[in-house]
Chain A
Amino acid sequence: MKTNNYIYLYDGSFSHLLNTIANLIKEQIKPLNIQNEITYQNDLFSTALKITNDTTDKLSYKIKKTNPYIYDLILCSYLSAEENKELIIYYFLLNAYKYGAKIIYMRKLKCVSKILEIAKYVHNEAHKMKGFLRFQELKSHFLFALVAPTNDILGFLSNHFQKRLPKEKWIIYDEKRKKMAIYYQNKIYITNIDIKNIKLLFSKDEKEMEQLWITFFETVAIKERKNYRCQRNFMPKKYWHNIIEMRDKIENNN
C-alpha cells in the first residue's frame, strides 16, 4: 500500500464514490482523504484529483447482490452526516475484500465498529422520522411535510410513505439539503429545489385537524406521571419545529 498526500474527489454520488474507492484499492493507494467535490475546499498543502469518470452503478449493484447487509452499511454511511465517512467506507471496503462476509463481526477494527454505529444511527433516525414527520394538507390536496433530519434519509422516508399512502399525492421537503421528494401517480421524483419563496396554501380543513390533534395530544397526557425529560429523550428538540404539537413548546423551556 502506498500512502500519498492526495485528496481524491468524487462527484457526490454514491456510485462515483464507490467506483473511486474501488479504483484506489485496485491501485493499492491509501489516500489522504476522499471528498465530495461540491463541498471540497481547496487548501495550499494538498492536491486534489479525480481518478475515474465512471459513474455507473454496476459496482454498487454487485455489492448489493452479493451481500445486501454490507451494501446497507455502506449506503447508510454515505447518507450519514459523519465527517470522514468516505474514508470510513474506504477502510471498511478494504477490509471487506480481505476478510469477506465475516467482516461484520470484527468490531475490533475501528472502521467496522464505526460503520456499524453509523448505520445504526441512520436507521434509527429514519425510523423515528417515520413517526415524527407531519403532513399538512394543501389546497391542491397534496400532502406536504417539512423535515430536517441530521442524515440524508429522504429515500427511506419516500419508500415508507409510498407503501403507506399509495393513493395520496405527497411532497416531503428536506429543509437542510433543499431536496424534495414528490410522489404523484405511483412514482417518486426527487429533485433539488429551494422553496424559500414559495407560499403554501392550505386546505380549508387543515387548521381544524391540527387543532383537533393538539387537543388529543394534550388530553392523553396523565398529569400524575409528568416526565418532560423522558419526553425530550425520545423526541429530541432538534425536530420540534416541524412537529405540529411541539412547535409552540420550543420557547418554554420545560
Chain B
Amino acid sequence: MTLKDKLTILADGAKYDASCSSSGSSRSNCDGTGNASISGICHSFSSDGRCISLLKILMTNCCIFDCKYCLNRKSNNIKRAIFSPEEICEITMNFYRRNYIEGLFLSSGIIKNPDYTMEKLIETIYLLRKKYNFHGYIHCKAIPGCSSYLLKKLGNLVDRLSANVELPTNKSLKLLAPNKDNKKVTNIMQTVRENKNKYFVPAGQSTQLIIGATTDTDYDIMKNSENLYQKYQLKRVFYSAYIPVNKDKMLPMLKTPPLKREHRLYQADWLLRYYHYKTSDLLTIDNQNLNILIDPKANWALNHLNEFPKEINKASYYELLKIPGIGPTSAKRIIKSRAYYPLELNDLKKMGVVLKRAKYFILCNGKYFMPSKYFQKQFIYTNLVLIDEEPKNNSSRQLSLFYENK
C-alpha cells in the first residue's frame, strides 16, 4: 500500500469530525518548526465549503467496536490501513513547512484495547514534538475508556484533547453505540478540566454531537451542550449533520443531511456562549425544536416584542446584545461612539450592525425607521424569514460559524 493510498483511507475515515479550529493556543518556538496562532488560521477550503486547517487523519481505521453510524465500525467490509508514527510525522512536517496546514488532528479507531491505542497515539505525538521538534498545533482525540495516567501524558503534549459525545442522550447511545457509554466520555472531560493549564491542553477541549441520527430534539441537544459548557468548560461543541454512511435498520435513511437544522443549532450555541442566553430562553418542554425558518435570536426577540423597540442611544450593553443584527463588537462600538454624538440609522452600518435585521427592533433618537403601525409581530416575522432565504447571505453565515473566537 502506498503512502497515498493510506492517506486516502485514513483521511476519509476522519473527515466526518466537524472540528476544524486551530485557535486558542499561542505556542511559540525557539529551536524548532512551527508556532500556534491564537486566532487560528484557515489554510484552504474544501469543495463543501469547510475550512481546512489541520491535517485531519486517523492513526488507523481498524476498530474493535461497532458503532452503527460509523464508517470504521468492525462490521463494515472496507479497506483498512494503519500509519506508523514516522509516517504521520513525515507527512505533518512536510505539509507544515509548505504551509498547507496549521497542524495535526489525530484520531483513531480502537485497536486491541483503549490503553494500547492511547499508547500508540502518545508514541506518535511524542515523536513529533520531541524528535521532529514540531511546535505547531495538535488536536488529539482521547480514546474513551483509557487510563487516566495516559490522558495526563497525552495532555502535556497537545494543544487540544477531546472526546466526542456523539449522541445527546444515553438512550440513543445505547441504541447506536452499544460499546460506548457517556461516563467514559465525561471521565475524559473531567480529567482534562482538572488538569488544564498553560502547558496542559492549552487550547482546551471540544466535543461533537451528531444531529439527526436519532429522535433527540433540539432541546435535548442544547441542554446537553449547556451542561457540558458549565461542567467541563468546553471551548466548543461542534454539531455535525448526520450523513448516512452505513445501511442499518436502526438508522434513518436521510436523502440530504439536515444542514439547516445544524446551522440553527450553531446559532443557538453561539447565543449561549457569547450572548448570555440560556437554553430555557430559547426552548422549552412544550417547544422542543428551533424554528428552521428564522434564527433563534430573532425568534426570541419576536416572542418578547414588548421589550422592543430599543433606543440605540440609551440601551445598556446587555440590552443591545439582545437586538437581532447586533453582536458584541458592534454593541461595544455603539457604546463608545454614542458618548461623542447621538447615533442615527446611517451611523450604525459603519459599526458593523446588520441593519436589515436590526432596524425592526430599534429606535434612533426616538425615531422608528417606518410608520410605527408596522411594528407588529407577523409583519416583522415575514420580513425576517425572507431575509434568511436570500441564498448568498445564508451560505456565508453558515460557515462563518466554523470559526472560533470570531
- Which chain A residues have a beta carbon within 8 Å of chain B's beta carbons? 102, 105-108, 113, 127-128, 130-137, 143, 145, 161, 163-168, 205, 209, 211-213, 215-217, 219-231, 233-235, 243-246, 254
Contact B396 A145 (CB under 8 A): no
Instruction: Decide: A135 and B97 in contact? CB cutoff 8 A.
Output: yes
Which of chain B's residues have a CB closer than 8 A to the CB of A229?
49, 391-392, 395
Known A-B contacts A108-B341, A230-B398; the reply to A209 vs B33 at CB < 8 A is no
* B 305-340 to A, binary, CB cutoff 8 A, 1 in contact else 0: 000000000000000000000000000010011011
Least Cβ–Cβ distance between A138 and chain B, in angstroms: 12
| Contact with A217, one of B32, B44, B241 (Cβ below 8 angstroms) | B44
Interface status of B227 (Cβ within 8 A of chain A): no
Does B11 make an interface contact (CB < 8 A)? yes
Q: Are A231 and B95 in contact (CB under 8 A)?
A: no
B8 / chain A contacts, CB cutoff of 8 Å = 215, 219
Select which of A209, A226, A235 is within 8 A of B44 by beta carbon: A235
Does B16 contact A222, Cβ atoms closer than 8 Å? yes
Please tell me if B12 contacts chain A, counting CB pairs below 8 Å.
Answer: yes
The CA-CA distance from A169 to B263 in the complex, in Å, is 43
Task: Determine if B217 is an interface residue (Cβ-Cβ < 8 Å).
Answer: no
Instruction: Tell me the complex Cα distance, A113–B333, Å.
Output: 12
B44 close to A243 (CB less than 8 A): yes
B359 to chain A, nearest CB (A): 18
Chain A residues lying within 8 Å of B259, measured Cβ to Cβ, are: 225
Least Cβ–Cβ distance between A69 and chain B, in angstroms: 13
A205 touches B94 (CB 8 A): yes
| Residues in chain A near residue B56, CB distance under 8 A | 220
Report how many residues on chain B are interfacial, defined by Cβ distance under 8 Å: 62
Contact A166 B47 (CB under 8 A): no
Nearest residue, chain B, Cβ from A233 = B396
Would you give the shortest CB distance from A173 to chain B, in whole angstroms? 14
Say whether B59 faces chain A, with CB atoms less than 8 Å apart.
no
Can you list 9 A-B contacts with CB-CB less than 8 angstroms, sorted by A residue number?
A105-B336, A105-B337, A105-B339, A137-B97, A167-B31, A211-B4, A213-B100, A215-B7, A221-B48
Residue of A nearest to B47 (CB): A221
Residue B46 at the chain A interface, CB threshold 8 Å: yes
Complex Cα gap A221–B39 (Å)? 24
Give the distance in Å from the alpha carbon of A91 to the alpha carbon of B326 in the complex.
Answer: 30
Are B337 and A130 in contact, CB atoms less than 8 angstroms apart?
A: no
Residues of A within 8 A of B395 (CB): 227, 229-230, 233
Instruction: Give the docked Cα–Cα distance between A245 and B52 (Å).
Output: 12
List of B residues within 8 angstroms of A102 by Cβ: 340
Residue in contact with A213 in the complex, picked from B49, B95, B333, B340, CB distance below 8 Å: B95
State A254–B49 Cα separation when bound (angstroms). 13
Q: Do the beta carbons of A231 and B29 come within 8 Å of each other?
A: no
Bound-state CA distance A216–B16 (Å) is 14
- 5 closest residue pairs by CB, A with B: A230-B49, A227-B49, A221-B46, A225-B48, A131-B43
Smallest CB separation, A119 vs chain B (Å): 14
Return the contact of A212 from the options B91, B347, B391 (Cβ within 8 A).
Answer: B91
Report the Cα distance A223→B45, complex, angstroms.
Answer: 14
Q: Inside 8 A of B33's CB, which chain A residues have their CB?
A: 164-165, 167-168
B302 interface contact, C-beta 8 A: no
Confirm or deny: B345 has a beta carbon within 8 angstroms of a beta carbon on chain A: no
- The answer to whether B99 and A145 touch across the interface, beta carbons within 8 angstroms, is yes
| Neighbouring B residues of A130 by C-beta, 8 Å | 37, 41
Q: Are B11 and A220 in contact (CB under 8 A)?
A: yes
Q: Is the CB of A212 within 8 A of B243?
A: no
Complex Cα distance, B129 from A38, in Å, reads: 49
Which of B51, B97, B256, B396: most chain A CB closer than 10 A?
A: B97
Residues of A within 8 A of B4 (CB): 211-212, 215
B267 at the interface (CB under 8 A from A): no
What B residues does A211 contact at CB under 8 A?
4
* B350/A113 in contact, CB under 8 A: yes
CB contacts under 8 Å to A, within B20-64, are 28-35, 37, 39, 41-53, 55-56
If A105-B340, A106-B340, A131-B42 touch, whether A217 touches B52 (CB-CB below 8 Å) is yes
Contact between B49 and A135, CB atoms less than 8 A apart = no
Chain A residues with CB below 8 A from B14, complex form: 220
Chain B residue contacts of A127, Cβ below 8 A: 39, 41
B257 within 8 A of A: yes
Residues of B within 8 A of A132 (CB): 43-44
Q: Which residues of A contact B341 (CB under 8 A)?
A: 106, 108
| Chain B residues within an 8 Å CB radius of A113 | 350
0/1 string, B247-267, CB within 8 A of A gives 1: 000000000110100000000
Rounded to whole angstroms, the CA-CA distance of A213 and B4 in the bound complex is: 9
Contact of A209 among B29, B47, B95, B333 (CB under 8 A): B95
Is A167 within 8 A of B50, CB to CB? no
Report the separation of the CA atoms of residues A212 and B93 in the bound assembly, to the nearest whole angstrom: 13
Task: State the CA gap A216–B52 with chains docked (Å).
Answer: 10
Q: Say yes or no: is B175 at the interface (Cβ < 8 Å to chain A).
A: no
Contact between A164 and B339, CB atoms less than 8 A apart: no
Question: Are A234 and B337 also in contact (CB < 8 A) when A167-B33, A212-B4, A227-B48 are?
Answer: no
Check A224–B243 contact: CB distance below 8 A. yes
Asked if A225 contacts B351 (CB within 8 A), the reply is no
A contact residues around B35 at 8 Å (CB): 163-164
Cα-based distance from A106 to B48 in the complex (angstroms)? 41
In angstroms, how far is the closest chain B Cβ from the Cβ of A208?
8
Assuming the A-B contacts A107-B351, A229-B49, are A131 and B41 also in contact, with contact meaning beta carbons closer than 8 angstroms in the complex? yes
Nearest chain A CB to B333 CB, angstrom units: 8
* Chain A hits for B100, CB < 8 A: 134, 213, 244
Residues of A within 8 A of B340 (CB): 102, 105-106
